[in-house]
Amino acid sequence: MTPSLLPAIMILLCLRQHTADTNSLPSVLLRSMSEELRLAPRPPPLPEPPAPAVPLPLPPPPLPLPVPPLPPEPELENLRLNSCFERPL
């Protein structure tokens, strides 16, 4: 049933409860609409849901980044001597 027909059917059902005459307008409209709904083409059945997917194994953890080697000792000495933050002794 389409959502747009639902409010109309609900109104007609409410009107039908308040009238005892089967030839009243709400009764006739309700019979007409129910006949249209009965003859309306049915939507195709929904396809079966897909089978649950098998979880994939987790990828291996990333390798740690390589640590650059320390510069040779003379370079460290030069850096220490050229440091602008070094206080004179």
Q: Could you list the residue range(s) of the whole structural domain that residue 10 is in?
A: 5-39
pLDDT at 62: 86
**19 in a structural domain:** yes
Token digits of residue 48: 């079966």
Taking only the tens place, the pLDDT of each residue in 67-83 is 877 666 665 555 655 55
56 located within any domain: no
**Count of the separate structural domains present in the chain:** 1
* Residue 79 within any structural domain of the chain: no
Has residue 33 been placed in a domain? Answer: yes
Residue at 68 is within a domain: no
What is the C-alpha end-to-end distance of the chain, expressed in Å? 93
pLDDT digits (tens, 9 = 90+) for 32-59: 777 777 777 777 888 888 877 788 888 8
Mean pLDDT, range 84-89, rounded to an integer: 56
Distance CA 88, CA 81 (A): 11
Is residue 25 domain-resident? yes
Provide the pLDDT for residue 82: 54
- Structure pTM? 0.24
What's the pLDDT score for residue 87? Answer: 57
Q: What local confidence, expressed as pLDDT, does residue 60 receive?
A: 87
Work out the pLDDT band at 19, boundaries 50, 70, 90. Answer: low
Report yes or no on 85 lying in a domain.
Answer: no
Residue 81 lies in a domain: no
- C-beta separation of 34 from 12 below 8 A: no
